[in-house]
C-alpha cells in the first residue's frame, strides 16, 4: 500500500521482523498484487550499528563470486538438489582460496543456516564483521565437506581479479565468448561508476583509451591504472563511453 515503504514489518505477535521496501504491482492503478519485499531485521540492525559507529557501512570481502544453483547447473554437476550457492570464481590469495574453496563447490550452509541461493551467502557475508569467521558446509564432487571462511577487511581495491573473471567499478567482466576479442560485461551494479558510464550487461569492451582489450585480464590491467574512455561493442555497433571512478 502507498506510504508503507520505510515502515515496520511486524509478525502476528507484534514483533519487528523487517522494514518494508516495495511491493509487486501490475496492471493499471499500481495496486498491490499481494507480494511485498522487506529488509530483514538482522541486516537493518547491522547497518544501523555501522552507521552509529563509523558513519558508513563497512562490509567485508571473501574473494569469491557466488551464483545460485539452478536445476540446469545441478544436473551438469550430477547433483539432485536445486538449493545452494555455487562458487563461480575464487581470487588467488583471497580468504576463499585459503579456506580451500574451488570453482563449482556448492555452499549448502553458512554459520549453521541453510543456503537457498547466492543471496543467502551474500547476506551472511554482508552482516559479518570484518575479520570474523563463517563456518561453511559445501559439496564437492557430491561429497559434503566443511571449512571456515574468514571475512576480510575491505581494502578498497579498484579492481578484483579472479581466475576467470574481473570486477571493477561496479561491474563484472569475463572473456568475451566465441571468436570475439574483448571483455564481456556480466552485470552492472545500480548506482556504480559503471552504471553512470552507461555500461550494460552483454556489452563487450574492446578498447580502453588507446589500448586494445582482448580479455577480462587485459581490461583489469588497464583499469588498475586509471579509468577513462571505453570502446564497447553493443548489438554489432561500436559505442564510446567514459568510465570515471
pLDDT digits (tens, 9 = 90+) for 37-82: 888 888 888 888 878 887 877 777 888 888 899 899 899 888 888 8
Lowest-pLDDT range of 31-40, 171-180, 205-214: 31-40
pLDDT digits (tens, 9 = 90+) for 229-239: 899 999 889 99
pLDDT of residue 116: 93
Lowest-pLDDT range of 25-29, 70-74, 141-145, 223-227: 25-29
Are 150 and 95 a contacting pair, CB within 8 Å? yes
pLDDT digits (tens, 9 = 90+) for 78-118: 888 889 999 988 888 889 999 999 999 999 999 999 999 98
Give the sign of the dihedral formed by CA 121, CA 124, CA 127, CA 129: negative
pLDDT of residue 28: 52
What pTM does this model have? Answer: 0.64
Cα separation, 148 vs 146, in Å, equals 7
pLDDT of residue 21: 85
More confident call, 193 vs 139: 139
240 alpha-carbon distance from chain centroid: 26
Residue (of 82, 87, 85) closest to 110 by Cα position: 85
Are 88 and 103 a contacting pair, CB within 8 Å? yes
Helical pair 118-126 and 41-54, crossing angle rounded to 10 deg: 30
pLDDT value at 1 more than 60:
no
Does 64-151 match 159-242 in CATH topology?
Answer: yes
Question: Domain residue spans in the chain?
Answer: 8-54, 64-151, 159-242
pLDDT digits (tens, 9 = 90+) for 119-171: 889 888 888 877 899 999 999 998 999 999 999 876 655 677 776 678 787 78
**CATH superfamily assigned to domain 159-242:** PDZ domain (2.30.42.10)
CATH architecture of the domain formed by 64-151: Roll (2.30)
Residue (of 51, 45, 33, 57) closest to 8 by Cα position: 45
Between CA 95 and CA 116, with CA 63 as vertex, the angle to 5 degrees is 100
pLDDT of residue 226: 67
Percent with pLDDT over 70 in the chain: 89
Amino acid at each position: 500500500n502507498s506510504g508503507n515503504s520505510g515502515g515496520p514489518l511486524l509478525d502476528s505477535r507484534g514483533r519487528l521482523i523487517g522494514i518494508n521496501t516495495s511491493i509487486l504491482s501490475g496492471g493499471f492503478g499500481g495496486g498491490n498484487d499481494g507480494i511485498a519485499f522487506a529488509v530483514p531485521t538482522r541486516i537493518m540492525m547491522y547497518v544501523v550499528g555501522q552507521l552509529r559507529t563509523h558513519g558508513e557501512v563497512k562490509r567485508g570481502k571473501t574473494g569469491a563470486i557466488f551464483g545460485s544453483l539452478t536445476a540446469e547447473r545441478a544436473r551438469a554437476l550430477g547433483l539432485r538438489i536445486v538449493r545452494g550457492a555455487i562458487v563461480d570464481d575464487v581470487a588467488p590469495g583471497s580468504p576463499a582460496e585459503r579456506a580451500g574453496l574451488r570453482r563449482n563447490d556448492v555452499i549448502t550452509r553458512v554459520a549453521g543456516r541453510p543456503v537457498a541461493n547466492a543471496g543467502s551467502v551474500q547476506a551472511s557475508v554482508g552482516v559479518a564483521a570484518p575479520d570474523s569467521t563463517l563456518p561453511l558446509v559445501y559439496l564437492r564432487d557430491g561429497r559434503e565437506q566443511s571449512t571456515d571462511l574468514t571475512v576480510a577487511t575491505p581494502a578498497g581495491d579498484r579492481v578484483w581479479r579472479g581466475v576467470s573473471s574481473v570486477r571493477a567499478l561496479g561491474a563484472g567482466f569475463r572473456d568475451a565468448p566465441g571468436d570475439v576479442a574483448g571483455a564481456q560485461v556480466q552485470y552492472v551494479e545500480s548506482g556504480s561508476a559503471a552504471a553512470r558510464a552507461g555500461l550494460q550487461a552483454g556489452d563487450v569492451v574492446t578498447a580502453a583509451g588507446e589500448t586494445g582489450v582482448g580479455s577480462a585480464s587485459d581490461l583489469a590491467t588497464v583499469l588498475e591504472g586509471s579509468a577513462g574512455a571505453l570502446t564497447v561493442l553493443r548489438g554489432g555497433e561500436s559505442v564510446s563511453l567514459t568510465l570515471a571512478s
